[in-house]
Amino acid sequence: MNATDSHKDVSPKGAASVRMRGVGKAFGSLTVLQELDLDVEPGERVVIIGPSGSGKTTILRVAMTLERIDSGTIRIGGQHLYHEETSSGQLKDASEKHIRGVRSNIGMVFQHFNLFPHMSAIENIMLAPVKVHGKSRKDAQQIGMELLDKVGLIEHANHTPGQLSGGQKQRVAIARALATQPSVMLFDEVTSALDPELVGEVLNVLRDIAEEGKTTMMLVTHEMGFAREIADRVLMFDAGRMIEGGPPSELLGNPQHERTRSFLGAVAEH
């Protein structure tokens, strides 16, 4: 857990590290993250588990800047997300411009898809490449169609989200996040809102992304079988703290903490 700055922060394939130091976040009197130190290496696949209210989703949300941290630092690929270094080496709060620059390395897929309902699938995917990354519509469309092909939805390019099933929506949302070629991908309970028979198609897409290894993946999920299969490391969270972490075979197979055992027991009963 004590990886230092000497580690490589960016892999040759483009995946980037995530390094959190002393990250704290509270909503009013409710502390959701306490002094969190977390390192994710470039290309690593980390699954975060824990009961609801444990702060696991908040980790992804602060990394995506959907919530701002109260204390600590977060670095993506070696660059500070919320801070800028002055010429004297001191850290100061970052400008929105700086945050936008670093944020362009991060992509996120949401539990409830959050597709833009007034745009077709392909337009959803093309929007950021055209508007943020300055691609021509032609190039963006080509990227979009390749991604739709990858998630098996090339036939549905002109469908609006209202015409797609939950699983199809989530696959479009994944394609949309991939279109910006992020170095770090955050997946926030991406199968939790799906009917059980639609979970498989989304997990297959995640497997493909994991196999390519072009991006660091942080996943919050309750699919323990999938976590065991895909994760390099599983982290158990409770009450805003990481209480245990390790390879899936160890953490899921032989948990050390009583809290982890009771949580895994409760999840297995489903």
Partner 1 sequence: MSDMTQTEPTADEPDADAPTGGAVSFQVAQDHKWYRRPNIVVPVVLVFLGLTMLAVADTPTARFRSEFAPPGDVRFDWAYFFHLVPQMLQGLFVTARATVLGFLIAASLGLVLALLRRSESRWVSYPAVAVIEFVRSTPILVQMFFAQVLVRATPAISLNALVILFIVVGIHYATYASEAYRAGINSVPAGQWEAATALNLGPLTKWTRIIIPQAVPNVLPTLGNYLVAAFKDVPIGDAVLSTGGVLFMANAIRSSDFRAVEPYLLIGVGFLLVSLPAAWLVRRLEERISYERD
Which positions touch partner 1 (CB under 8 A)?
A: 64-66, 100, 103-104, 106-108, 110, 112-118, 127-128, 131-132, 176-177, 180
Least Å from the CB of residue 223 to partner 1: 21
Q: Which is nearer to partner 1, 182 or 255 (CB)?
A: 182
- Minimum CB–partner distance for residue 100 and partner 1 (Å): 6
Residue type, 6: S
Q: Which is nearer to partner 1, 31 or 180 (CB)?
A: 180
User: Which is nearer to partner 1, 156 or 176 (by Cβ)?
Assistant: 176
CB of 161 to partner 1, least distance (A): 11
| Least gap, CB of 69 to partner 1 (angstroms) | 15
Say if residues 65 and 45 touch (Cβ distance below 8 Å). no
CB of 216 to partner 1, least distance (A): 16
Closest to partner 1 by CB, 89 or 134: 134
Q: Rounded distance, CA 80 to CA 45, Å?
A: 21
Query: 65 or 215, CB closer to partner 1?
Result: 65
- Residue 113 has φ and ψ, to the nearest 5°, of 65, -50
Closest CB to partner 1 among residues 107, 248 = 107
Query: Rounded to the nearest whole angstrom, what is the least distance from the CB of residue 188 to partner 1 in the complex?
Result: 10
Vertex 49 angle, CA 44 and 52, to 5°: 145
